[in-house]
Amino acid sequence: MKIYKTNMSDDKKEEIIKDFLPYIKYTAFRLLNRIPPQLTVDDLVSVGIMGLLDAIDNYDQSRAKLKTYAEFRIKGAMLDELRSFDTAPRSLKEKLNELRAVFVKLEKELSRPPDDDEVAKVMNITLDEYYKILKDADGVITLRFEDFSSKTYGGGEDVNLMENIPDSTSKDSLSMLIESSQKKLLASLIDTLPEKEKLVLSLYYWDELTMKEIGKVLSLSEGRVCQLRSQALIRLKAKLETSDVR
């Protein structure tokens, strides 16, 4: 039952927008390193507000709390806007496809995640060239909930995670089971990554540190942190595309 579309006044919507504005601005600045020249942070903030209004109009209180659904739609709207301005050259996309294939090939052969020099050797490039690809890939490679959509896991039943946004405040057993399944799926993929890459992802996505802050924690340059993040996401994309758990 979509109770907000017809019942909420404009004044109430304005009040909600004011409440969410700090989160919208924070999310926009978190995506700063991925904004193309055609866009500004203010553009992303505007897109986030539109995402919030869409969430208000289509909110179903039987599925999740408004805060949970709105935050999901705000960030989703911003990411959709960034993807619509994807200007990555074809040559880079081809290199990333090759890189994912090499990750899959070497991991099967070695029974472990390949090292940087092993990947570069198979691609017949220098380490500097390999790191240049990772640098160029930063902001191009994304991992989305849609990547898990229309896949089957475990018992062979088709599961669309986009229809199962977990509500952290919900206590009913079904919601808890859905949330647990998503976490287990993501954890199982992330757990196969090298330790340093796992740590970078954890600090960036869970602790929400900036690249510079992560660099200070790990005693690495900001550029190296970006490389590790890009490398981890490329590995995860490759695992999703070739996963045996379907």
Instruction: Indicate the pTM of the whole model.
Output: 0.51
Residue 168 lies in a domain: yes
Residue 233 lies in a domain: yes
Residue 100 lies in a domain: no
**Category of 169 on φ-ψ map: left (φ > 0), alpha (ψ -120 to 50) or beta:** alpha
The verdict on 66 and 135 lying in the same domain is no
- Which range of residues forms the domain containing residue 172? 127-242
- C-alpha distances in Å from residue 93, one per residue of 39, 87, 99, 128: 22, 10, 10, 18
Q: Cβ(81)–Cβ(44) under 8 Å?
A: yes
Model confidence pLDDT, tens digit, residues 183-240: 666 677 788 888 999 888 888 877 778 888 889 988 999 888 888 988 888 888 787 7
- C-alpha distances in Å from residue 120, one per residue of 200, 233, 242: 21, 17, 21
The verdict on 136 and 235 lying in the same domain is yes
Residue 181 lies in a domain: yes
Contacts of 152 (CB under 8 A, 6+ apart): 158, 159, 246
The pair phi, psi for residue 116, each rounded to 5°, is -55, -45
Tokens of 44: 């992303």
CATH of the domain at 219: 1.20.140.160
**pLDDT at residue 206, as a whole number:** 76
Model confidence pLDDT, tens digit, residues 40-86: 888 889 999 998 988 888 776 666 677 888 888 898 888 888 877 76
